[in-house]
Amino acid sequence: MRAATRAVVALLLPWLAAACAGQTNQEFDMRLREMAGSNERALLGGMGRIPDNSYQLDENTKILQWRWDTSYIAGGWAPTYQRVGWGMWMPIGGFPTTLVRQGCIVEWTVIKGNTQSYRWQGSGCNTVTIHATPPPG
């Protein structure tokens, strides 16, 4: 009975954690959509930090790219031990910890100083918090 309870908890725990997570991908997209059409200075303030990469495509067009990388270790489950033979113990069940990497990339296309379009990708975008800062002066 105890092993069955552990199995149920192990299966439900990741699902419950996901249900309690912050924003959804739709909310993240809506946050970006609110910045569409702004000038480059307002975009930098809206994103809250300078971009990680910038690419000049032509005289009037550039791509600004922001990256986030979140890594964490998802806990494993220790095995139980059963006695077999004289003084010997054998591990049964259990699973190791797992390294989970969640990344997010946001790219904005800026033409003549104004944002034209954006795209984002990654499994970690729903964990990204954009800290908007007002532009100076």
CA 124 to chain CA centroid, Å, is 2
pLDDT on residue 16:
45
CA 32 to chain CA centroid, Å, is 15
- Give the DSSP letter of residue 125: G
pLDDT on residue 22:
62
Task: Tell whether the model's pLDDT for residue 4 goes beyond 70.
Answer: no
Mean pLDDT score across all residues of the chain = 84
Q: 20: which 2 tokens?
A: 């309690």
User: Is the overall model pTM greater than 0.75, yes or no?
Assistant: no
pLDDT, tens digit, for every residue of 55-84? 999 999 999 999 999 888 888 888 899 988
Q: 105: which 2 tokens?
A: 């990339």
CATH of 22-76+102-127 among 3.40.50.300, 3.40.190.10, 3.30.1450.10, 3.30.70.270? 3.30.1450.10
The mean pLDDT value for 108-131 works out to 91
Q: 48: which 2 tokens?
A: 């809250």
